Amino acid sequence: MLVLAIGDIIGRPGRRATRELLPELKQELDLDLVIANAENTAGGLGLTPATADELFATGVDVLTSGNHIWAQKEIFPYLNGKLPILRPLNYPPGVPGRGYIVIKQTMIVNLIGRTFMGDFDCPFRAMDKLLAEVKPKPAVIIIDFHAEATSEKIALGRYLDGRVSAVLGTHTHVGTIDARLLPQGTAYVTDIGMTGPMDSVIGDDTKSVIHHFLTMLPHHLSVGKGKTEFNAILVKIDEVSGKATGIERIYREVA
């Protein structure tokens, strides 16, 4: 099967690029499943029901998230509903939503890192627990690991090598060049990158970000404008064994 994972979608520019590119990519690549990180789709911070519906209409099957999923409170009731929207699995018990879903005979899991991120439950042990408890366990398992530290992402990929089909990093918004197949058959990349404005600082307006760094004063950061980049990772997986057989970066630009 062929799975496309789209990197952090940033505000209106990212949604527009997804809307313009994804339908054609689905036909061109004959995709079986599309996953997108959507925690920055509503004005660059959070997810709303309207922005979620917009992405589902483009052909996205599952929306993942991260530390910004709580920024727009109107999404909270939907996290416990039928829509395929995930928040990180290793949040403490009692928070809204779910951390994994099984769709199209595939289990998609959302995890969040701890290094430079916050006091979350251990993503390594949370994944061990999930793999032990889910029955029947699908052969194909794909993880969106929303984390800051490169070392933590690589460590999780190595830890789960051979036990899941793919570990795909999000959060830093800068695509890395290390897309590869690990020795035991897990596809890995440290960060997919973002789908958002190119002339920006990780999606935010450049002048606003520079002003913040120069003054260190609280400052509203708006989404950048102009040409948009679309970053995604395509993973080819054997549906019987769950092993990945190929991984490649997909990059497009929208004027």
Q: How far apart are CA 228 and CA 254, in angstroms?
A: 5
Burial 35-58 (b: 16+ CB within 10 A, else e): bbbbbbbbebbbbbbebbebbbeb
Segment (H or E) for 180: strand 180-181
What six digits make up the tokens of 189?
């990349």
Neighbour tally for 159: CB within 10 Å: 15
Among 68, 146, 171, 173, the active-site one is 68
219 is catalytic: no
58 within 8 A of 23, measured Cβ to Cβ: yes
187 within 8 A of 193, measured Cβ to Cβ: no
How many CA within 13 A on the CB side of residue 198? 12
Query: CA quadruple 61, 146, 133, 91: dihedral positive or negative?
Result: negative
- Identify the bridge partners of residue 112 per DSSP, sorted by sequence position: 146
Distances (CA, A) of 58 to 45, 73, 156, 226: 20, 24, 31, 21
Q: How far apart are CA 183 and CA 152, in angstroms?
A: 18
Kindly list the catalytic residues.
68
